[in-house]
Chain A
Amino acid sequence: GNSVTQMEGPVTLSEEAFLTINCTYTATGYPSLFWYVQYPGEGLQLLLKATKADDKGSNKGFEATYRKETTSFHLEKGSVQVSDSAVYFCALVGSMNRDDKIIFGKGTRLHILP
Chain B
Amino acid sequence: DTGVSQDPRHKITKRGQNVTFRCDPISEHNRLYWYRQTLGQGPEFLTYFQNEAQLEKSRLLSDRFSAERPKGSFSTLEIQRTEQGDSAMYLCASSFRGSKAGELFFGEGSRLTVL
Contacts and interface: CB of A to CB of B under 8 A. Distances in A.
Interface residues of A, number: 24
A43 interface: yes
B38 to A, nearest CB: 10
Interface in A31-70: 32, 34, 36, 42-46, 49, 51
A105 B42 contact: yes
A99 B97 CA distance: 8
Interface in B1-23: 4
Interface string B18-47: 000000000000000101000011111100
A49 B109 contact: no
Contacts of A91: 102
28 contacts: A36-B104, A43-B91, A43-B107, A43-B108, A43-B109, A44-B43, A44-B93, A44-B104, A46-B105, A49-B103, A91-B102, A93-B101, A98-B97, A98-B101, A99-B55, A99-B97, A101-B33, A101-B48, A101-B56, A102-B45, A102-B104, A104-B35, A104-B43, A105-B42, A106-B40, A106-B41, A107-B40, A107-B42
